[in-house]
Structure 1
Amino acid sequence: MDTKHLLNNLVTAVIVIDADLKLCYANAAAEQLLGVGIHRLTEHFLADNFRLIGVSNELLTESIKENQGLTVNTASLITFDNQHHTVDITLSPLEQEQGLALLELRQVDQQLRIHQQLTLDAQQQAAQYLVRNLAHEIKNPLGGLRGAAQLLSRELHDPQLNEFTDLIIEQADRLRNLVDRLLGPQKPTKHSLHNIHEVIQKVLKLVSMALPENIDLEQDYDPSIPDIQMDPEQLQQAILNIVQNAVQALECDGGNILIKTRTQHQVTIGTERHKLVLALSIIDNGPGVKPELLDTLFYPMVTGRDNGSGLGLSISHNFARLHGGRIDCQSTSAGTEFTILLPIENNN
């Protein structure tokens, strides 16, 4: 039986290195993970085949020389094409081959993403339940407050005093609108076939009307993406909320916002695996999301802006969920990327 053929059928990246961290062998999964061909891999040292890996060269070298195994869980891996992965790293010295070791890189991005999504969904649903109950409690006395202000306004004949009742009515209406948004739809609406790019173009038309001159909007569409089942108004609002956040992040120093559409294969959303999904990315080169907000970014009432309501991303996440999808966020000091993932198989 051909050992190399067996190794090339593994989904785990397998690499053989020596004590100088020179590659002697790499299987097909290693080529795919690192995005580097087999000839380049084996002609260079380990560290020359990626930007970053979450284990030091010194530790790997010492483990090989001392013939000791090594395991590092959930380490970061950044490839030359700037793909970020999370991997479990296992180093196993080869007993029959002194000075050589087997290095296994097993991707755990999918498992972590599923766990994070299930945790996020559970926590967000709990937060939404709490906020919705609070909104119901606010709405009833709010109507009475507004009605009382209207009655009082009719009895007052001093315009200066009427200014105060008008202020009460105005602020009550503003609060009612906020409550109505908190009590937004929680169940799927009627869906029909629509083109996602038409929805995006409507969003960009709205945004362009008040777009600062120092911000550029760019589009990179995959025209082969088929029409999908959707509520176009909900998805328009979901996309608009994210694009507006990007505009607000860039309005001081300026920058670029890229709207990109692609398809992805074999993607797990929640606990369901989909053969084909739409990946709609909204990418800006702004200052990024504050690290302390990343884990709660989609919760109601969470915002990084002094004048923000904290509802935009929560509403977008909920609309994506109502379409059987999800929203991912990656953010660094160099920019932020939101990706809306929506199933598109079995729509036609």
Structure 2
Amino acid sequence: MSKQTLQKLPLETSGFFREVLEGLTTAVLWVNHEQKITFMNVAAGEIFQTSPSRVMGMHWEKMMPDLIESLDQAKEKKVTIHEYVIEQKDLFKVRVSCTISPYDLGTEKGWLFELFNTERHHRIVEEDERWHQYEAGNLLVRTLAHEVKNPLAGILGATQLLQRRYKPEDKANDFLEIISKEVQRLKNLVDRMLGPKQSSEKELHNVHELIRYVLQIVEGEKPNNVYVKLDYDPSIPEVMIDFEAMVQAILNLIKNAIQAMEQFGGMLTIKTRVEHKFTLGTQTYPLVALISITDEGEGIPPEVFDSIFYPMVSSKKEGSGLGLPVAQNVLRQHDGLIVAESEPGKTTFNVYLPLKQKER
């Protein structure tokens, strides 16, 4: 439909063209010469989380503050603003690119706003980059762990042979016992660095049952000043998982959240949702289960945020730096992913799990 054709149309667009606009996945708004919104399609309503009837006649700046200094800049030509952030009602933020074009409907002058959601593109690029970084670091640590494991086994075996030569009351046996315990401790550390082994024992489980089980485990160590809020989507179907491995992954995330709030307390919020046509890595899944774990702690320091899924990296003084890499490894074994978001007072770990009814 050309601009000339549009100019011949009355302000109230025909049913056919309205249906076309409503069917677009691109968010479209039309603003009249008084800079008031007179049309908004369904895609725009989804981005702003509102209905067209609520915004009709509203000044566009109430919807998009600080988008552009003045619409006069777009009087003669198109203007595109990249990386504009829209804060939705549920406090989620969406990044968009907005193109403003001078556009007349009938005899009335105005502007056409087109908003393209770039959040998904940014997320895919960031996930891909972080996963490659994580894989590189993980490969290095696994290689070193394998190299260390063999000498440790030799030291432990030789120590046990020496212990047989001494009586329990001998002084030398005390030192051998220390060596044995320390070698065993290092062996356990190496096993944790290698992460859980790939398991083929996957069955259908309810994600809410998984969360309930983990919350039972941490109940005894949860401080009194930490409260739990559950926000579940009961429509989530069962997901194919290795239950024990996923317990370890979710347990690591929830423990981290609780530890982040030990000093000042706060709310631990666990939310579940279903995402449609969601891309993980290079594959798009029809349905993906989302488990969001949010704490009100101090947040992750910016200097370590990009490295938190590397082994041996921790923002805690006594942290081993293995909890998050192990959890990420478990999710990758399930074709899923963990994505972190953090700012002072709010840190969220989003766990994405493809909803598969059976293993390939």
Normalised by the size of structure 2, how large is the TM-score?
A: 0.85
Look up the match of 1:23.
37
Write the letter of the residue equivalent to 1:256. M
Write the letter of the residue equivalent to 1:215. V
CA drift at 1:184: 2.7
Q: Any residues of structure 2 matched to 1:140-155 within 5 Å, and which?
A: 140-150=150-160
Matched, 1:80 2:113: no
Q: Residue deviations 1:140-189, cap 9 Å, x none?
A: 22223334444556667886665544333322222111111122346452
CA drift at 1:304: 0.9
Look up the match of 2:262.
251
Matched, 1:176 2:187: yes
CA drift at 1:73: 2.4
SS at match of 1:218: strand
- Pick aligned residue for 2:237 from 211, 214, 226: 226
SS at match of 1:14: strand
In the superposition, relative to structure 1, how do residues 221 and 24 fare at CA in structure 2: closer, same or farther (>3 Å)? closer
Structure 1: how far apart are the matches of 2:33 and 2:147? 67
Look up the match of 1:211.
222
- Pick aligned residue for 1:189 from 196, 200, 225: 200
* Count of residues in correspondence between the two structures: 343
Query: Among the aligned pairs, what percent are the same residue?
Result: 37
Structure 2: how far apart are the matches of 1:43 and 1:120? 44
Structure 2: how far apart are the matches of 1:247 and 1:266? 32
In the superposition, relative to structure 1, how do residues 285 and 100 fare at CA in structure 2: closer, same or farther (>3 Å)? same
Look up the match of 1:129.
139
- Pick aligned residue for 2:354 from 328, 343, 346: 343
Contact 1:263 1:278 in 2 (8 A): yes
SS at match of 2:62: helix
Structure 1: how far apart are the matches of 2:338 and 2:25? 26
CA drift at 1:20: 6.3
Structure 2: how far apart are the matches of 1:210 and 1:160? 39
Look up the match of 2:279.
268
The structure with the largest alpha-carbon Rg is: 2
Contact 2:163 2:176 in 1 (8 A): yes
CA drift at 1:291: 2.5
Structure 1: how far apart are the matches of 2:41 and 2:301? 39
- Pick aligned residue for 1:113 from 120, 123, 135: 123
Look up the match of 1:41.
55
Contact 2:33 2:108 in 1 (8 A): no
RMSD (Å) for aligned C-alpha atoms = 2.7
Normalised by the size of structure 1, how large is the TM-score?
A: 0.88
Contact 2:31 2:112 in 1 (8 A): yes
Deviates more, 1:317-326 or 1:148-157: 148-157
In the superposition, relative to structure 1, how do residues 209 and 313 fare at CA in structure 2: closer, same or farther (>3 Å)? same
Matched, 1:309 2:320: yes
Write the letter of the residue equivalent to 1:43. G
Query: Could you list the runs of 5+ residues in structure 2 that have no partner in the other structure?
Result: 1-13
Structure 2: how far apart are the matches of 1:6 and 1:287? 47
Query: Could you list the runs of 5+ residues in structure 1 that have no partner in the other structure?
Result: none
Contact 1:186 1:322 in 2 (8 A): no
Contact 1:275 1:345 in 2 (8 A): no
